[in-house]
Structure 1
Amino acid sequence: MTASIMRCWKRPLKLLAICWLCLWAALGAASEVEVRNPQLTPGDDGYTLSADFAFEFNSRLEEAVTRGVVLNFLVEFELTRVRWYWLDDKVASRSQTLRLSYNALTRQYRLSSGALHQNFSSLEEALRILSRLRHWTVLDKSVALRPGETYQASLRLRLDPSQLPKPFQLTALANREWNLASDWLNWPFSVPREEPPREGAK
Protein backbone atom coordinates (compact mmCIF):
# COMPACT_ATOMS: atom_id res chain seq x y z
CA MET A 1 0.00 0.00 0.00
CA THR A 2 2.77 2.41 1.01
CA ALA A 3 4.80 1.58 -2.11
CA SER A 4 1.74 2.28 -4.30
CA ILE A 5 1.19 5.67 -2.69
CA MET A 6 4.86 6.56 -3.17
CA ARG A 7 4.67 5.69 -6.88
CA CYS A 8 1.59 7.92 -7.26
CA TRP A 9 3.44 10.81 -5.61
CA LYS A 10 6.55 10.36 -7.76
CA ARG A 11 4.69 10.79 -11.06
CA PRO A 12 3.40 14.36 -10.41
CA LEU A 13 6.75 15.28 -8.86
CA LYS A 14 8.54 14.19 -12.02
CA LEU A 15 6.10 16.16 -14.17
CA LEU A 16 6.62 19.22 -11.98
CA ALA A 17 10.38 18.87 -12.28
CA ILE A 18 10.13 18.62 -16.07
CA CYS A 19 7.96 21.77 -16.20
CA TRP A 20 10.48 23.70 -14.13
CA LEU A 21 13.34 22.52 -16.35
CA CYS A 22 11.45 23.68 -19.44
CA LEU A 23 10.78 27.06 -17.85
CA TRP A 24 14.42 27.57 -16.90
CA ALA A 25 15.52 26.47 -20.37
CA ALA A 26 13.24 29.10 -21.89
CA LEU A 27 14.61 31.77 -19.60
CA GLY A 28 18.17 30.73 -20.29
CA ALA A 29 17.63 30.94 -24.04
CA ALA A 30 16.83 34.63 -23.98
CA SER A 31 17.53 36.57 -27.16
CA GLU A 32 21.01 37.95 -26.88
CA VAL A 33 21.89 41.63 -26.93
CA GLU A 34 25.55 42.44 -27.43
CA VAL A 35 26.95 45.66 -25.97
CA ARG A 36 29.67 47.12 -28.18
CA ASN A 37 32.16 49.99 -28.08
CA PRO A 38 31.26 51.63 -24.75
CA GLN A 39 33.04 54.95 -24.25
CA LEU A 40 33.03 57.40 -21.36
CA THR A 41 33.88 60.91 -22.54
CA PRO A 42 34.64 63.89 -20.30
CA GLY A 43 32.66 67.08 -20.83
CA ASP A 44 31.67 70.32 -19.15
CA ASP A 45 28.91 68.63 -17.12
CA GLY A 46 30.78 65.43 -16.27
CA TYR A 47 31.15 62.19 -18.24
CA THR A 48 28.84 61.07 -21.03
CA LEU A 49 28.42 57.49 -22.24
CA SER A 50 28.11 56.26 -25.82
CA ALA A 51 27.70 52.63 -26.91
CA ASP A 52 26.11 50.38 -29.51
CA PHE A 53 23.68 47.50 -28.96
CA ALA A 54 23.47 44.63 -31.45
CA PHE A 55 20.35 42.47 -31.31
CA GLU A 56 17.76 40.72 -33.45
CA PHE A 57 14.25 42.08 -33.10
CA ASN A 58 12.18 38.93 -33.62
CA SER A 59 8.79 38.66 -35.32
CA ARG A 60 6.94 38.16 -32.02
CA LEU A 61 8.11 41.55 -30.71
CA GLU A 62 7.46 43.22 -34.07
CA GLU A 63 3.90 41.89 -34.10
CA ALA A 64 3.31 43.06 -30.53
CA VAL A 65 4.45 46.62 -31.27
CA THR A 66 2.39 46.79 -34.46
CA ARG A 67 -0.69 45.76 -32.47
CA GLY A 68 -0.20 48.55 -29.95
CA VAL A 69 1.91 46.98 -27.19
CA VAL A 70 4.42 49.48 -25.79
CA LEU A 71 7.88 47.97 -25.24
CA ASN A 72 10.04 49.49 -22.52
CA PHE A 73 13.79 49.00 -22.84
CA LEU A 74 15.86 49.68 -19.74
CA VAL A 75 19.44 50.94 -20.12
CA GLU A 76 21.45 50.55 -16.91
CA PHE A 77 24.91 51.89 -16.02
CA GLU A 78 27.01 51.37 -12.91
CA LEU A 79 30.42 52.58 -11.80
CA THR A 80 32.12 50.56 -9.09
CA ARG A 81 35.30 50.92 -7.07
CA VAL A 82 36.68 47.38 -6.84
CA ARG A 83 38.24 46.65 -3.44
CA TRP A 84 40.13 43.41 -2.82
CA TYR A 85 40.01 43.84 0.96
CA TRP A 86 36.29 44.57 1.32
CA LEU A 87 32.99 44.71 -0.55
CA ASP A 88 33.01 46.69 -3.78
CA ASP A 89 31.86 50.30 -3.51
CA LYS A 90 29.16 51.39 -5.98
CA VAL A 91 30.11 54.95 -6.88
CA ALA A 92 27.28 55.73 -9.31
CA SER A 93 24.20 54.12 -10.79
CA ARG A 94 22.09 55.47 -13.64
CA SER A 95 19.20 54.12 -15.70
CA GLN A 96 16.89 55.35 -18.42
CA THR A 97 13.85 53.86 -20.12
CA LEU A 98 13.39 53.90 -23.89
CA ARG A 99 9.74 53.35 -24.91
CA LEU A 100 9.01 51.92 -28.35
CA SER A 101 5.43 52.28 -29.57
CA TYR A 102 3.35 52.44 -32.74
CA ASN A 103 0.55 54.82 -33.73
CA ALA A 104 -1.88 53.11 -36.06
CA LEU A 105 -3.51 56.41 -37.10
CA THR A 106 -0.30 58.08 -38.28
CA ARG A 107 1.41 54.76 -39.12
CA GLN A 108 4.51 55.94 -37.35
CA TYR A 109 6.75 54.37 -34.75
CA ARG A 110 7.75 56.44 -31.74
CA LEU A 111 10.81 56.18 -29.54
CA SER A 112 10.52 58.09 -26.26
CA SER A 113 12.90 58.87 -23.42
CA GLY A 114 11.31 60.97 -20.70
CA ALA A 115 9.79 64.04 -22.35
CA LEU A 116 11.78 63.54 -25.57
CA HIS A 117 10.07 61.87 -28.54
CA GLN A 118 11.14 60.88 -32.04
CA ASN A 119 8.82 59.61 -34.76
CA PHE A 120 9.86 57.23 -37.54
CA SER A 121 8.16 56.01 -40.69
CA SER A 122 9.56 52.48 -40.28
CA LEU A 123 10.44 50.10 -37.47
CA GLU A 124 13.95 49.70 -38.89
CA GLU A 125 14.65 53.41 -38.41
CA ALA A 126 13.38 53.34 -34.82
CA LEU A 127 15.48 50.27 -33.97
CA ARG A 128 18.54 51.87 -35.53
CA ILE A 129 18.28 54.77 -33.08
CA LEU A 130 17.44 52.44 -30.20
CA SER A 131 20.64 50.50 -30.87
CA ARG A 132 22.83 53.63 -30.72
CA LEU A 133 23.28 55.17 -27.29
CA ARG A 134 24.86 58.59 -27.62
CA HIS A 135 26.08 61.25 -25.14
CA TRP A 136 24.13 60.06 -22.11
CA THR A 137 25.33 61.90 -18.99
CA VAL A 138 26.02 59.19 -16.42
CA LEU A 139 28.60 60.89 -14.18
CA ASP A 140 27.85 64.49 -13.31
CA LYS A 141 30.02 66.88 -11.32
CA SER A 142 28.51 65.68 -8.03
CA VAL A 143 30.17 62.26 -8.39
CA ALA A 144 33.48 62.37 -6.53
CA LEU A 145 36.04 60.61 -8.72
CA ARG A 146 39.65 60.18 -7.64
CA PRO A 147 42.21 61.25 -10.28
CA GLY A 148 44.49 58.38 -11.26
CA GLU A 149 42.17 55.71 -9.86
CA THR A 150 40.73 52.87 -11.98
CA TYR A 151 37.06 51.91 -11.63
CA GLN A 152 34.87 49.23 -13.17
CA ALA A 153 32.18 50.55 -15.51
CA SER A 154 29.20 48.32 -16.34
CA LEU A 155 26.43 48.63 -18.91
CA ARG A 156 23.48 46.54 -20.05
CA LEU A 157 20.24 46.81 -22.06
CA ARG A 158 17.12 44.73 -21.51
CA LEU A 159 13.46 44.61 -22.36
CA ASP A 160 11.61 45.26 -19.10
CA PRO A 161 8.84 42.63 -18.81
CA SER A 162 7.40 44.26 -15.67
CA GLN A 163 6.21 47.19 -17.84
CA LEU A 164 4.27 44.98 -20.25
CA PRO A 165 0.47 44.78 -20.03
CA LYS A 166 -0.57 42.17 -17.46
CA PRO A 167 -1.68 39.49 -19.98
CA PHE A 168 1.76 39.63 -21.62
CA GLN A 169 3.82 39.40 -18.43
CA LEU A 170 3.11 35.71 -17.88
CA THR A 171 3.73 35.02 -21.56
CA ALA A 172 7.07 36.82 -21.35
CA LEU A 173 8.06 34.67 -18.37
CA ALA A 174 7.67 31.41 -20.28
CA ASN A 175 8.49 32.46 -23.86
CA ARG A 176 12.10 33.14 -24.73
CA GLU A 177 11.12 35.40 -27.64
CA TRP A 178 10.13 38.03 -25.08
CA ASN A 179 13.42 37.82 -23.19
CA LEU A 180 15.55 40.35 -25.03
CA ALA A 181 18.49 41.27 -22.78
CA SER A 182 22.24 41.60 -22.57
CA ASP A 183 24.60 40.52 -19.86
CA TRP A 184 26.45 43.21 -17.94
CA LEU A 185 29.43 44.37 -19.97
CA ASN A 186 32.28 45.41 -17.66
CA TRP A 187 35.33 47.44 -18.62
CA PRO A 188 38.02 49.38 -16.71
CA PHE A 189 37.67 53.15 -16.54
CA SER A 190 40.63 55.24 -15.37
CA VAL A 191 40.21 58.83 -14.25
CA PRO A 192 42.95 61.02 -15.76
CA ARG A 193 45.42 62.50 -13.31
CA GLU A 194 45.33 66.24 -12.87
CA GLU A 195 48.12 67.88 -14.80
CA PRO A 196 50.43 70.08 -12.69
CA PRO A 197 50.42 73.77 -13.65
CA ARG A 198 53.04 74.70 -16.21
CA GLU A 199 55.92 76.94 -15.24
CA GLY A 200 55.19 80.56 -15.89
CA ALA A 201 51.45 80.01 -16.10
CA LYS A 202 49.38 82.58 -14.28
Structure 2
Amino acid sequence: MKLKLILLVVLCCFSAHLRAVELLDLQQQIDGQELLITPQFEIQASQKVIDAINSGIVITFVYQAKLFQTIDWWFDAVVGSKIKTFEVRYFSLSSQYQLLHIQSKNKLSFITLKQLLQHLGQQTTFEFDANRQADYLETRIFLDKQALPSIMQLPNVFDADWNLNSDWQPVPISATKDASEQP
Protein backbone atom coordinates (compact mmCIF):
# COMPACT_ATOMS: atom_id res chain seq x y z
CA MET A 1 0.00 0.00 0.00
CA LYS A 2 2.81 2.41 0.86
CA LEU A 3 4.51 1.66 -2.44
CA LYS A 4 1.35 2.56 -4.36
CA LEU A 5 1.02 5.81 -2.43
CA ILE A 6 4.65 6.75 -3.06
CA LEU A 7 4.27 5.93 -6.75
CA LEU A 8 1.14 8.08 -6.95
CA VAL A 9 2.89 11.04 -5.29
CA VAL A 10 5.90 10.73 -7.63
CA LEU A 11 3.66 10.59 -10.70
CA CYS A 12 1.66 13.61 -9.51
CA CYS A 13 4.85 15.60 -8.98
CA PHE A 14 6.16 14.61 -12.40
CA SER A 15 2.88 15.51 -14.12
CA ALA A 16 2.89 18.90 -12.41
CA HIS A 17 6.17 19.70 -14.15
CA LEU A 18 4.73 18.63 -17.49
CA ARG A 19 2.11 21.37 -17.26
CA ALA A 20 4.67 24.13 -17.83
CA VAL A 21 2.86 24.67 -21.16
CA GLU A 22 -0.91 24.90 -21.00
CA LEU A 23 -3.55 25.53 -23.69
CA LEU A 24 -5.66 28.48 -22.53
CA ASP A 25 -7.85 29.01 -25.59
CA LEU A 26 -8.00 28.31 -29.30
CA GLN A 27 -9.30 30.93 -31.73
CA GLN A 28 -10.83 29.71 -34.98
CA GLN A 29 -11.94 31.80 -37.92
CA ILE A 30 -12.72 31.30 -41.60
CA ASP A 31 -11.26 34.02 -43.82
CA GLY A 32 -12.14 33.46 -47.46
CA GLN A 33 -10.92 29.97 -48.31
CA GLU A 34 -8.71 29.66 -45.23
CA LEU A 35 -9.37 28.25 -41.80
CA LEU A 36 -7.23 30.25 -39.36
CA ILE A 37 -6.28 28.52 -36.12
CA THR A 38 -4.56 30.50 -33.34
CA PRO A 39 -3.80 28.47 -30.21
CA GLN A 40 -3.33 30.45 -26.99
CA PHE A 41 -0.68 28.73 -24.87
CA GLU A 42 0.80 29.84 -21.58
CA ILE A 43 4.49 28.95 -21.55
CA GLN A 44 6.26 28.88 -18.20
CA ALA A 45 9.94 28.14 -18.64
CA SER A 46 11.86 26.63 -15.75
CA GLN A 47 14.84 28.43 -14.27
CA LYS A 48 17.21 25.96 -15.99
CA VAL A 49 15.77 26.85 -19.41
CA ILE A 50 15.91 30.58 -18.62
CA ASP A 51 19.53 30.27 -17.49
CA ALA A 52 20.43 28.38 -20.66
CA ILE A 53 18.86 31.07 -22.87
CA ASN A 54 20.60 33.83 -20.91
CA SER A 55 23.89 31.96 -21.36
CA GLY A 56 23.53 32.06 -25.15
CA ILE A 57 22.09 28.58 -25.76
CA VAL A 58 19.58 28.57 -28.63
CA ILE A 59 16.31 26.92 -27.58
CA THR A 60 13.97 25.51 -30.24
CA PHE A 61 10.19 25.31 -29.87
CA VAL A 62 8.02 23.31 -32.26
CA TYR A 63 4.33 24.11 -32.84
CA GLN A 64 2.14 21.48 -34.48
CA ALA A 65 -1.47 21.50 -35.62
CA LYS A 66 -3.42 18.68 -37.29
CA LEU A 67 -6.94 18.56 -38.72
CA PHE A 68 -8.85 15.29 -38.37
CA GLN A 69 -11.92 13.81 -40.01
CA THR A 70 -13.81 11.39 -37.77
CA ILE A 71 -14.22 7.86 -39.10
CA ASP A 72 -16.61 5.72 -37.06
CA TRP A 73 -15.14 2.31 -37.71
CA TRP A 74 -11.42 3.10 -37.95
CA PHE A 75 -8.77 5.56 -36.84
CA ASP A 76 -9.59 9.17 -37.62
CA ALA A 77 -8.02 10.48 -40.83
CA VAL A 78 -5.53 13.35 -40.80
CA VAL A 79 -6.72 15.81 -43.47
CA GLY A 80 -4.20 18.57 -42.77
CA SER A 81 -0.99 19.01 -40.82
CA LYS A 82 1.29 22.01 -40.19
CA ILE A 83 4.52 22.48 -38.25
CA LYS A 84 6.13 25.77 -37.27
CA THR A 85 9.57 25.88 -35.70
CA PHE A 86 10.93 28.78 -33.66
CA GLU A 87 14.33 29.52 -32.16
CA VAL A 88 14.74 31.61 -29.01
CA ARG A 89 18.10 33.27 -28.39
CA TYR A 90 19.56 36.02 -26.26
CA PHE A 91 21.99 38.70 -27.41
CA SER A 92 23.95 39.94 -24.41
CA LEU A 93 25.45 43.01 -26.12
CA SER A 94 22.04 44.48 -26.93
CA SER A 95 20.26 42.79 -23.99
CA GLN A 96 17.52 41.59 -26.32
CA TYR A 97 15.77 38.29 -26.85
CA GLN A 98 15.12 37.20 -30.42
CA LEU A 99 12.39 34.93 -31.75
CA LEU A 100 13.20 33.44 -35.17
CA HIS A 101 10.56 31.64 -37.21
CA ILE A 102 12.70 29.06 -39.03
CA GLN A 103 10.48 28.54 -42.09
CA SER A 104 9.89 32.23 -42.92
CA LYS A 105 13.17 33.59 -41.45
CA ASN A 106 11.05 36.27 -39.72
CA LYS A 107 12.81 37.73 -36.66
CA LEU A 108 11.23 39.58 -33.75
CA SER A 109 13.10 41.20 -30.86
CA PHE A 110 11.88 41.56 -27.28
CA ILE A 111 13.18 43.34 -24.19
CA THR A 112 12.23 40.52 -21.81
CA LEU A 113 11.99 36.76 -22.12
CA LYS A 114 8.51 36.92 -20.61
CA GLN A 115 7.31 39.10 -23.51
CA LEU A 116 8.87 36.71 -26.02
CA LEU A 117 7.26 33.62 -24.47
CA GLN A 118 3.90 35.40 -24.28
CA HIS A 119 4.13 36.32 -27.97
CA LEU A 120 5.23 32.80 -28.91
CA GLY A 121 2.37 31.27 -26.95
CA GLN A 122 -0.40 33.50 -28.29
CA GLN A 123 0.49 34.95 -31.70
CA THR A 124 1.12 31.88 -33.87
CA THR A 125 -1.53 31.24 -36.52
CA PHE A 126 -1.93 28.16 -38.69
CA GLU A 127 -3.66 28.44 -42.07
CA PHE A 128 -5.58 25.47 -43.47
CA ASP A 129 -7.86 25.04 -46.48
CA ALA A 130 -11.38 25.80 -45.19
CA ASN A 131 -12.95 23.35 -47.65
CA ARG A 132 -11.43 20.30 -45.96
CA GLN A 133 -13.92 18.03 -44.24
CA ALA A 134 -12.42 18.23 -40.75
CA ASP A 135 -14.34 17.61 -37.52
CA TYR A 136 -11.70 18.49 -34.96
CA LEU A 137 -8.10 19.56 -34.63
CA GLU A 138 -5.23 18.81 -32.31
CA THR A 139 -2.42 21.20 -31.47
CA ARG A 140 0.65 21.18 -29.29
CA ILE A 141 3.89 23.01 -28.58
CA PHE A 142 7.06 21.51 -27.18
CA LEU A 143 10.70 22.31 -26.53
CA ASP A 144 12.81 20.33 -28.99
CA LYS A 145 15.51 18.74 -26.83
CA GLN A 146 17.16 17.18 -29.88
CA ALA A 147 17.98 20.68 -31.16
CA LEU A 148 20.02 21.44 -28.04
CA PRO A 149 23.81 21.27 -28.30
CA SER A 150 24.84 17.60 -28.21
CA ILE A 151 26.56 17.95 -24.83
CA MET A 152 23.21 19.03 -23.28
CA GLN A 153 20.93 16.44 -24.89
CA LEU A 154 21.57 13.35 -22.78
CA PRO A 155 21.53 15.00 -19.33
CA ASN A 156 18.23 16.74 -20.13
CA VAL A 157 16.30 13.81 -21.59
CA PHE A 158 14.63 12.90 -18.29
CA ASP A 159 15.01 16.25 -16.52
CA ALA A 160 11.53 17.55 -15.66
CA ASP A 161 12.77 21.15 -15.90
CA TRP A 162 13.28 20.65 -19.64
CA ASN A 163 9.89 18.99 -20.30
CA LEU A 164 8.08 21.96 -21.83
CA ASN A 165 5.39 19.99 -23.62
CA SER A 166 1.68 20.68 -23.90
CA ASP A 167 0.82 17.21 -25.24
CA TRP A 168 -1.82 17.00 -27.97
CA GLN A 169 -4.85 19.17 -27.21
CA PRO A 170 -7.99 18.10 -29.16
CA VAL A 171 -10.53 20.85 -29.94
CA PRO A 172 -13.72 20.58 -32.06
CA ILE A 173 -13.83 22.83 -35.12
CA SER A 174 -16.37 25.61 -34.70
CA ALA A 175 -14.99 28.38 -36.93
CA THR A 176 -17.19 31.17 -38.24
CA LYS A 177 -16.85 33.44 -41.25
CA ASP A 178 -14.96 36.71 -40.91
CA ALA A 179 -17.33 39.51 -39.87
CA SER A 180 -16.37 41.59 -42.94
CA GLU A 181 -17.65 38.83 -45.26
CA GLN A 182 -20.98 38.18 -43.55
CA PRO A 183 -24.11 39.93 -44.96
Query: Pairwise mapping of residues 71-82 of structure 1 onto structure 2 (< 5 A)?
Result: 71-82=59-70
Structure 1 gaps, min length 5: 1-20, 193-202
The structure number with the bigger radius of gyration is 1
Question: Paired residue for 1:88?
Answer: 76
Query: Pairwise mapping of residues 40-189 of structure 1 onto structure 2 (< 5 A)?
Result: 40-114=28-102, 115-134=105-124, 136-140=125-129, 144-146=131-133, 151-189=135-173
Cα deviation 1:7-43 (Å, max 9, x = unaligned): xxxxxxxxxxxxxx9xx96975643111121122111
Structure 1 residues 111 and 45: CA distance shift in structure 2, 3 A: farther
TM-aligned CA deviation for residue 130 of structure 1: 1.5
Opposite residue 138 of structure 1, the aligned amino acid is E
CA contact (8 A) 1:30 1:181 kept: no
CA contact (8 A) 2:28 2:174 kept: no
Structure 2 gaps, min length 5: 1-6, 177-183
CA contact (8 A) 1:54 1:131 kept: yes
TM-score relative to the length of structure 1: 0.73
TM-aligned CA deviation for residue 85 of structure 1: 1.4
TM-score relative to the length of structure 2: 0.80
TM-aligned CA deviation for residue 50 of structure 1: 1.3
Q: Cα RMSD between the aligned structures? A: 2.5
SS at match of 1:181: coil
How many positions carry a matched residue from both structures? 165
Aligned-partner Cα distance in 1 for 2:174–2:44? 33
For CA contacts below 8 A with separation 6 or more, give which structure has more relative contact order: 2
SS at match of 2:71: coil
Q: Runs (4+) of structure 1 moved beyond 6 Å?
A: 24-27
SS at match of 2:157: helix
